[in-house]
Amino acid sequence: MDIIIILLLIFLILAIILRDIFNPPTYTRFALPLPQPPGQPPLPPFIYFDIDTRFTPAEVSRIKTIISNVLANWKLHLTQKWNGGLNNGVSS
């Protein structure tokens, strides 16, 4: 039984390797505006991501939304910590 599991794992690994050899990933770059939280040195205006073109349009949209939400939460965190310039705030 163990040998069957090992052989299946080897087959799976080979299938993944061959898939990437015959269908190599290509990427599309997209840019998102980078929030400028108070109290931070000037940041670049955009942050860039390379996304695999094998994702469906719906998946790409979800990925972009998730990244945007993370950046918005990051800005909220730093804004709360900045506390109007006192830099002693508590982040929710």
Token reading at 24: 């190599």
Q: How many CB atoms lie within 10 A of CB 30?
A: 15
Which pLDDT value is given to residue 20? Answer: 80
Is the pLDDT at 50 greater than 80? The verdict is yes
pTM of the model: 0.72
Percent of residues, the chain, with pLDDT higher than 90: 73
Q: What is the mean pLDDT of residues 3-15?
A: 91
Dmax (CA) for the chain in angstroms is 65
Token reading at 83: 């506390």
Is the pLDDT at 32 greater than 80? The verdict is yes
Is the pLDDT at 1 greater than 70? The verdict is no
Q: What is the mean pLDDT of residues 79-89?
A: 91
